Every structure is written in structure tokens, then in C-alpha cells.
Amino acid sequence: MSQVKSVAILGAGPSGAALGARLARAGLAVAVFDAGKRPDLVVGESLVPAIVPYLEDLGIEDEVREYSIFKPGATFVLRGGEEIMNLRFDTIRGARTTYSYNVPRDRLDASILEAARRAGAVVVPATGRVETTGEGERLRLTAESLEAARDVFGGHQPDFIVDATGRRRTVARMFDLETETGPRRDAALHAHMEGVDLIECGNVHTDILERGWSWRIPLQGKVSVGLVVPSEALEKFGSTAEEQFDGYLANDRVTAQWRAGAKRITGVMKYNNYQLTTRRGVGPNWALLGDAFGFIDPVFSSGLLIGLDGAEGLAKAIRSGAGEAALEKYQKHVIHHLETWQRVVDHFYNGRLFTLLQVGEIARSTRFGALLDFHFGRYMPRVFTGEASRGRYGPWLLDFMCRRGLVDNDPAELAVL
Ligand SMILES: Cc1cc2nc3c(=O)[nH]c(=O)nc-3n(C[C@H](O)[C@H](O)[C@H](O)COP(=O)(O)OP(=O)(O)OC[C@H]3O[C@@H](n4cnc5c(N)ncnc54)[C@H](O)[C@@H]3O)c2cc1C
């Protein structure tokens, strides 16, 4: 088993920085390469409750609370605004964490990176570049990157390299690793607004629109709004992201209900081509982490959880020496986690998830239904909060019930078009 004493992490987003903190705390020499070019607006502002223990572990929950909005639950708006479902995290049986936060991403990222620095990781203000050594798939830093991290590695190659470069997917592209794409071809348009109505203060809101869906995430003094809509439904509103965002928002009958007095206060960011995961996440002296390994879909705010949970697993594997078995265990865990969210997300789009929740509401009034509900209520909601998404039983039960438990109801009525 090889001993790993030094690690280069490419990318200073939440996944890379969280891994940096864990490894530096364990006494490893860690350089986190920070390309420093973040757009003004970054998606990923709604956190699931399972993230809170990671914030505590990093020692940043108090500061996160200061600049964030307390998030007690999630609100879903269905059938053109006629039906509203609320999930309060503190009503979930067996929940370990009963709240979360909506965060300004720039500040959250800065807090996690600062925690890595405090733990002893060195943040190298440069793009991290890698090349193959010529021995199979081994990687090394380029001479320029090695020089940039001279203070950490003293001119010697690090023992291990982590690709946490997000959607740039540096190493997966370099080796042309096999990928899997989900079925959706949506574009996500994101901006901050003032004067947007909310139903439940603090909750993340998900509205099913005439085409696609939207998010409303309350932040301090403003609301983050996202439109996740099939690309072809946007084109008629113009060619720029701003024209498409404003045009869609003004014309959809659901968004028209909550945008009456609203004003967009930022430009609009557009994201395409997500639902992309890599089927292999490790190599002889490297691993992929966070979005660089895979990203499914924004709908249940699972992205940061997958990254921070991955950082925990990868830190364990590296600290144990980054042997083949340990890396494979990490890879298997992340792939399982990604697959779980893909199934949950698929059932959101095909209408089965909300149909199941509605069937559950009716069944609860019968004695047998109440018994079943007692059991389901312990496992299924915790998949959404992220506490059970990494396990086996909760995700299996949810998937099984979405496929088999709809009685005679047609899921197409609640499908996202
Ligand atoms: C539309 C949309 C909405 C989303 N909403 C949510 C949400 O509400 N909640 C949630 O939890 N998640 C959400 N996500 C997902 C979330 O944004 C990501 O999962 C999360 O940012 C992943 O973190 P990361 O550290 O892996 O990557 P990133 O946050 O992308 O960080 C990687 C960083 O590395 C930098 N970099 C790239 N190449 C290099 C290099 N060679 N050297 C140095 N630095 C480099 C990049 O510039 C970037 O700053 C959303 C995603 C999308 C697309």
C-alpha cells in the first residue's frame, strides 16, 4: 500500500476546498489550486439539511448562519398553482438535522476555502494543470503548476492529484472517460430579483411551469430565481439569456402569479448540458470529485451534498494510502449516490413522485394506509434531505413505490413537460 503524504487539488470550489481541509487536518501537505475566475452569480444556493453537519465539521456554521437565510423546508407548487405541498424538515420522523440554509454561494465558497487554509492547506492562486507521465494513466503536475506550488511540494511531484474542477471536468476530458447522460435537455437560466412573492418564508420553492420548472430561493434582501426549461421553449423569446429569462417569466401563467412587482437586479447566467456523470472516477494516482465526477440536476439541491459527501469519502481513501480497493470503494459510493439522485430526479420529471405523494395523502386516512405511512415517513422524506440518499433502503423504497404504488393514477398529469 502506497503512503500518500502530499496531494494537489485542482479547483477551490466547495468540493476541493472541503477535501483540502480534511487532508490538511490529517497532516498531509495540500495545495488547492484556485483559478480565481468565478462569475458574479453562481448557482448552488439552496442546501439540503444533510449539509449542515459538514458545515459544523468545517467550523463554519455560525458564520454561514450570519449571511444566509434559515431554511425550514421546501414548497412545491403543482397544477398551475392550484395545489401547494409543503415539506417541513422538522416534521420528518427520524431526521437528524431539521433545518438548512439558503446561501450566497460566493460567501459560502469563501468560508469553506478559509476553513481549508486554517486547517493548513495552501491555496495556490493559479490554474492547476496536469499531464500524463507516460506510464499508463498516471498524472503529474505540469512544470509550471509544480513551480506555482513549490512552497508546498518543494519541487517534488505530489503523491496524489484530485480533479475538483467542476463542470470543466479536466481529467475526465483528458482521458475521454466514458460518461452517462440523463434524459433531459434543459437550459437553466439564473438571476437575482427583488419583489418576488413567496408562499412559505425561508423555504426553497419549486414551481412546475407550463414548460419545465422554476426555483425561488430566498436570500438576504433578494430572491434567487431559476428557470429550468427545455431549450426549444426559450428560443422564441430572443437570443440572449436576459431576453429568454424575462420573456419566459412574463409569459408563463405560474410565474406571472409571483413576479407581478418583481425586478431583476442582476444579469442572467445560463447553464446547459448537465445531467452528465463519469462512469469511472479514479485512476492510479488521481480521483475525480464533486461536479468533476458528475452532476445530475438542480431540482433537489443535491449538488453540494454529493461534493461534500464525496470529499469525506475521498479523504478517507487517501488517508488510508489511496490503494486500489480504497479508491474503488470511494468510486462505488459516489456512483451509487449519483444514480440514486438520477432515479429520484427522473420520477420528478415523469410525474410519478408527486403522484405518489398525493396517493400517500389519501391513503393516510385509512388504518392500513396510516400504518404504511408510519414506515414510509421514516425513510422516504430523508432521501430528499440527503440523510438517506447515500443509503440503500430509502432510495430503493422510494423508487419501488414510484413505480408500483400509484394505484390507478396517471403520472402524466403531473409530469414536467
Ligand atoms: C442550474 C444549477 C443549479 C444548481 N443549484 C444547486 C442548489 O441549489 N444546491 C446545490 O447543492 N447544488 C446546486 N447545483 C450544483 C452545484 O452548483 C454544484 O454541484 C457545486 O458547485 C459543485 O461544487 P464543486 O466544488 O464540485 O465544483 P465548482 O463549484 O464548479 O468549483 C470548481 C472550481 O474550480 C475552478 N477550476 C476549474 N478548473 C480549474 C483548474 N484547472 N485549476 C484551478 N481551478 C479550476 C472553477 O473555476 C470553479 O471555481 C446547481 C447546479 C446547476 C447547474
- Cα of 311 to ligand 1 centre, how many Å? 14
Distance 371 CA to ligand 1 centre (A): 41
Tell me what percent of the residues of the chain surpass a pLDDT of 90: 81
pLDDT exceeds cutoff 80 at 21: yes
- pLDDT at residue number 331: 98
Going from the Cα of 394 to the center of ligand 1, the distance in angstroms, rounded, reads 27
Residue 2: predicted pLDDT: 53
Angstrom CA distances, 58 to 14, 75, 99, 308, stand at 11, 29, 18, 11
Quick one: average pLDDT of 286-290? 98
Q: What's the length of the chain?
A: 417
242 is written with which cell numbers?
Answer: 436576459
Give the atom of ligand 1 at the shortest distance from the alpha carbon of 305: 11
User: What are the Cα distances from residue 109, in Å, to 11, 174, 191, 254?
Assistant: 11, 26, 18, 32
The β-bridge partners of 77 are: 84, 207
- Model confidence pLDDT, tens digit, residues 212-239: 999 999 999 999 999 999 988 999 999 9
Structural domains in the chain, CATH included, are 6-68+103-179+275-341 (3.50.50.60), 186-271 (3.30.9.100), 350-414 (no CATH)
pLDDT at 183: 84
311: CB partners within 8 A, 6+ apart: 15, 16, 18, 19, 22, 289, 290
Residue whose cell numbers read 388504518: 367
82-92 pLDDT, tens digit per residue, is: 889 899 999 99
Which pLDDT does position 261 carry in this prediction?
Answer: 85
Q: List all residues whose CB is within 6 A of at least one atom of ligand 1.
A: 10-11, 13-16, 33-35, 37-38, 43-47, 127-128, 164-168, 170, 188, 226, 271, 274, 290-291, 295, 298, 301, 303-304, 307
Average pLDDT over every residue of 362-378:
80
Confidence tier at 409 by pLDDT (50, 70, 90): confident
Tens-digit pLDDT profile for residues 29-76: 999 999 987 888 999 999 999 999 999 999 999 999 999 999 999 999
Among all chains, which residue has been given the C-alpha cell 481513501? Answer: 317
pLDDT at 172: 97
Mean pLDDT for all residues in the chain: 93
Distance 291 CA to ligand 1 centre (A): 6
Report the separation in Å between the CA atom of 408 and the middle of ligand 1, taken as the mean of its atom positions: 41
Q: How far apart are CA 329 and CA 278, in angstroms?
A: 16
**Alpha helices (runs of H) in 175-323, residue ranges in sequence order:** 241-251, 253-258, 303-319
What whole-number distance in Å separates Cα of residue 24 and Cα of residue 76?
Answer: 41
Q: Choose one of 245, 291, 295, 308 to mutate for the ligand 1 pocket test, by most ligand atoms within 8 angstroms of C-beta.
A: 291
Please give the pLDDT value at position 38. Answer: 82
d(CA 381, CA 93): 9
Q: Which parts of 357-407 are beta strand (E)?
A: none
Cα-to-centroid distance, 166 and ligand 1 (Å): 5
In sequence order, what DSSP letters do the residues of 258-294 get, joined into one string?
Answer: H-TT-EE-S--EEE----EEES--EETTEEE-GGGTE
Those residues with Cβ within 8 angstroms of residue 30's Cβ, 6 or more apart along the chain or in another chain: 6, 7, 8, 9, 20, 23, 24, 116, 120, 121, 122, 152
- Contact between residue 71 and residue 46 where contact means Cβ atoms under 8 Å apart: yes
For residue 1, pLDDT beyond 70:
no
The whole-angstrom separation of Cα 161 and Cα 192 is: 36
> What pLDDT does residue 359 have?
83
Residue written as cell 448540458?
A: 273
Return d(Cα 149, Cα 114) in angstroms, integer: 18
